[in-house]
Structure 1
Amino acid sequence: MRRSIVAVDMDDTICHLVKRAIYHNNKEFPTHPLQYEEMLDWNTDHLRHPASTQEVFFGRPGLYEELELYDEHVVEEMEKLHEAYDVIIVTAGQPKSVAEKWNWLQRHMPFIPFENFFVCKRKSLIGFDLLIDDGPHNLLPALEAGRKVLCIPHPWNRRQREQHAFPLMDSWKNAKERVDQLLQHP
């Protein structure tokens, strides 16, 4: 019998990328500070300093290895999901960030094997039964394809959450139970 495939995003789903990138942005450009709550779109139009580009904001060497876990439950719940389902990590990444992301994943979740680590911006190209993600550009195509989703709420997906009935998961506490419920009900 085939096990269900649960695809899990990395950035701002199992770890905090934007908050850490904001920290470094504000340290480097103190005259043009950013705030997490102001991140209302899934782009970098919010960058205020002319030298703060998307490449600078997300491209700082070592950034992806220093990210904090999403919360205190994420590792335990990911391990439970890994034992029950085929869990794949599906993360967008530039070539120079891939090794950092893999290193972070192995430090925090070494039970995820390399063959379950996919670098892919267009997640709709991957086969899965359920997607856990924060990006509306991934959640909407999954829903349109008839797949289950769990949305990690952030300011940049607020508008889409208001327009679409995404099931939300604002904490990893009891995530396995939430996934079980979603996958058991058509």
Structure 2
Amino acid sequence: MRKPIIAVDMDDTICHLVKRAIYHNNNDFPTHLLRYEDMLDWDTDHLRHPNCTQEIFYGRPGLFEELEVFDEHVVGEMEKLHNAYDVIIVTAAQPKTVIEKWNWLQKHMPFIPIENFFPCKRKTLINYDLLIDDGVHNLVPALQEGRKVLCIPHPWNLKAREQYAFQLLTTWQGAKEQVDLILGG
């Protein structure tokens, strides 16, 4: 009998990408300071300095290896989930960031094997029973396909959280128990 598959996003789900990108932006462009609370959409071009492109904001060499874990519970809860379910990491990545993301994952969650690491932007192409993600572009299609989702709340998904009945994962503390309830395990 196969274990249920839990697809888990990386950026801003198990680690903090936007907060770290904002930190670097604010150091590099002090005339255009950004705040996490102002990141109300994926398109943040109007917030950034004119010289700060998407590539500069998210493409800083080594950025993905320096990200902080989401909270103090995420590693332990991910290991519990890994032991109980078939956990796959499904993360959007540019070719040059794949190795950084893999290195981060091995540093913080070495129990996740390489065969469970999927660099993939279009998550609807992947088979899973539950998606844990912060991206509306992933959560809404999954919900529309009848899949189960857990949303990591951030300012950029507030509008969608108001529109859709996403179950929320506001902290990783107790995540395994929440997933058990959702999957009936």
Show the counterpart of 1:126. 126
Q: 1:13 to 1:46 in 2, by over 3 A?
A: farther
Aligned residues: 185
Q: Tell me which amino acid in the other structure corresponds to 1:86.
A: D
TM score, norm. by length of structure 2: 0.98
Show the counterpart of 1:31. 31
Are 1:93 and 1:119, in contact at CA under 8 Å, matched by a contact in 2? yes
Alignment of 1:1-186 (within 5 A): 1-184=1-184
Distance in 2 (alpha carbons) for counterparts of 1:61 and 1:28: 14
Are 1:7 and 1:88, in contact at CA under 8 Å, matched by a contact in 2? yes
Are 2:45 and 2:53, in contact at CA under 8 Å, matched by a contact in 1? no
**CA offset digits 1:104-151 (Å, max 9, x no partner):** 000000000000000011101100000000000000010011110000
Q: Tell me which amino acid in the other structure corresponds to 2:18.
A: V
Give the secondary-structure state (helix, strand or coil) at the position aligned to 2:89.
Answer: strand
Unaligned residue ranges in structure 2 (runs of 5+): none
Distance in 2 (alpha carbons) for counterparts of 1:146 and 1:152: 19
Q: Alpha-carbon deviation of 1:48? A: 2.6
TM score, norm. by length of structure 1: 0.98
Distance in 1 (alpha carbons) for counterparts of 2:46 and 2:182: 35
Are 1:38 and 1:155, in contact at CA under 8 Å, matched by a contact in 2? yes
When the two chains are superposed, the root-mean-square deviation of aligned CA atoms in Å is 0.9
Are 1:39 and 1:46, in contact at CA under 8 Å, matched by a contact in 2? no
Are 1:47 and 1:53, in contact at CA under 8 Å, matched by a contact in 2? no
Q: Tell me which amino acid in the other structure corresponds to 1:54.
A: Q
Distance in 1 (alpha carbons) for counterparts of 2:166 and 2:45: 25
Distance in 1 (alpha carbons) for counterparts of 2:11 and 2:81: 18
**CA offset digits 1:49-90 (Å, max 9, x no partner):** 111010000000000000000000000000000000000000
Q: 1:47 to 1:146 in 2, by over 3 A?
A: same
Give the secondary-structure state (helix, strand or coil) at the position aligned to 1:83.
Answer: helix
Distance in 2 (alpha carbons) for counterparts of 1:67 and 1:86: 24
Q: Alpha-carbon deviation of 1:184? A: 1.1
